[in-house]
Amino acid sequence: MSQKQADDIRQSVRDSYAKVAEASDAGECCGVETSCCGVSADINSVHSTRLGYSENDLNHIPGGADMGLGCGNPRAIASLQADEVVLDLGSGGGFDAFLAAREVGEHGQVIGVDMTPAMVSKARRNAETAGFSNVEFRLGEIEYLPVADSSVDVIISNCVINLSPDKARVFREAYRALRPGGRLAISDVVATATLPDEVRDDPHLHACCVAGAALVDELQAMLEQACFTDIRITPKDESREFISDWVPGSGVEDYVVSAHIEAIKPE
Amino acid sequence: MNQCDKDRPVEDPLEQVRLLYTELAQNPEKEFGWGKGKENASALGYTGEWLSCLPDSVWESAAAVGNPFSLGPIHAGETVIDIGCGAGADACIAAMLVGKTGMVLGIDCTPAMITKARENAEVSGLPQVVFQVAEMTELPLTDSAADLVISNGAINLAEDKDTVLAEAYRVLRPGGRLQIADMVRDTSTGNSVCCRAEESWADCVSGTLEPGTFLFMLTRAGFVDAELVGFTAYRTATSTTGALFRAVKPG
């Protein structure tokens, strides 16, 4: 893929999520077409409960941070400890970052990275409103992480890496950013069968976290090439129900499934 | 006000900046009210070699306000960061100067400019330059990694200039240099206060400082030998002028 094609994909994704951020700011009034990306607070809470977040989780994050854009709960597999440094790839409105911030406590640190300026602004406003002092949001692309080498204990990410036009680079960057012994705890969609060309080439389905999904074997190979060990990719068959709601009637649930992706940077 | 109103005024300066420079990236033929392109760069002292070596798509979206390369040599093998690189003109020139053994990082908060800069570097065959979407208040570079910081008409656009200069200081190695062109208040015209309300932030007017204030901020950030080297002929308003600054991180 050329640089231009990769950047065109990034821009299409950015445009989609900027619309979600703006629609969410405006209380849904913009009538954005977001069949795959909820913007109603009620629907999002239901959605998030389905993904494995507790009521308690949902009650402890700033209003507006949960836009129902995830496909799992990376924290459930991250086993975050007090004082850890956490990096959230594609932090959006900050939902997972805020929950992680509560777990790592005031001496821990959470850095959210997102390439959509409107999302970074929104997350920063959310952090300020809620008074989080241990969370920061940085504008950047996940293929070029704006963090120092070996500075992070845990990388979390929720339904984002599938959007990247260069996933191998994302994993190489993740490896660079993690300290030796650091871990990946990612929730993302993976492809269970090769996607038909008309699905793979549809920018809307790409932004909806379908068309960009990689096959489990491809992800395994990319993680290995990035030198990760203890790689575990665990598809979640129960995700079929909510994925079928992303693009109703399209049958995408036959091709993609939500999965936990875990790996370790060796000591 | 209905927040969905697409014509609502954009109040956040950073958002204004991003909108204007997305326009400069995508519709460079438009009239912006200030100099840009090859002719502007040529008038500021960019050499014919640079102007002819780099593709026109670099120059059409380039709004240089001065020539940072006039402020000192750049050596082969050096690491350079360009703060607010736009479509990549200065970063590509720096890449030619540092050569294959050097490295240049260009950062810009406007994704459309980074897209364009990456294409330009690819067309120009300069693999030693990398472009990243980032804000100047959070430079994506390790401490003490750079030999040289350059910037051209960008730092005036930052609301928090102290943080930008602190970041520039952080990423420079001891002995590293800062060579920048930027817009400043032209105190000689005497109208630096009258029109503030009508002025635009994104057009490099209302975020400008007086040169002495900028020098003070450089010193406060830890730089030594901070120097206003001179003014350029570039203008964004009657009350502004391009200026050239140089400083060093103590070794």
Residues B139-151 pLDDT 10s? 999 999 999 999 9
Q: Does A206 touch chain B (CB under 8 A)?
A: no
Nearest residue in B to A141, CA atom? B133
Closest approach of A2 to chain B, Cα-based (Å): 9
- Contact: B4, A146; criterion CB under 8 Å: no
Average pLDDT over residues A205-217: 89
Average pLDDT over residues A109-124: 96
What's the pLDDT at A39?
40
Alpha carbon of A21 to those of A92, A116, A180, A187, B75: distances in Å?
A: 8, 9, 35, 21, 44
Q: Does 3.40.50.720 match the CATH number of domain A3-264?
A: no
Band (A31; pLDDT cuts 50, 70, 90): very low
Query: In this predicted complex, what is the ipTM?
Result: 0.82
Share of chain B above pLDDT 90, in %: 81
Q: Do B128 and B100 contact (CB within 8 A), yes or no?
A: yes
Of B3, B112, B135, the CB nearest to A139: B135
Q: Is the pLDDT assigned to residue A36 strictly greater than 90?
A: no
Average pLDDT over residues A16-32: 69
The span from the CA of A151 to the CA of A111, in Å, is 11
| Chain B interface test: which of A11, A139, A142 (most B C-beta within 10 Å) | A139
Bridge partners of residue A178, in order along the sequence: A152
Residue window 12-31, chain A: list those with CB within 8 Å of chain B. 14, 25-27, 29-30
Q: Do B28 and B56 contact (CB within 8 A), yes or no?
A: no
**Tokens encoding B23:** 């326009």
Residue window 74-133, chain A: list those with CB within 8 Å of chain B. 115, 117, 121
User: Greatest CA separation found in chain A?
Assistant: 50
- Contact: A140, B134; criterion CB under 8 Å: yes
CA-closest candidate to residue A177, choices A159, A161, A154: A154
A155 membership: H or E segment, kind and range: strand A152-158
B157 versus A38: which is more confidently predicted? B157
| Chain A interface test: which of B138, B144, B171 (most A C-beta within 10 Å) | B138
Tell me the pTM. 0.87
Nearest residue in B to A145, CA atom? B140
Vertex B87: Cα angle to B79 and B176 (nearest 5)? 20
What's the pLDDT at B22?
94
Of A2, A29, A146, the CB nearest to B140: A146
SS3 at position A263: strand
End-to-end CA distance of chain B: 54
Least confident of A175-189, B164-178, B195-209: B195-209
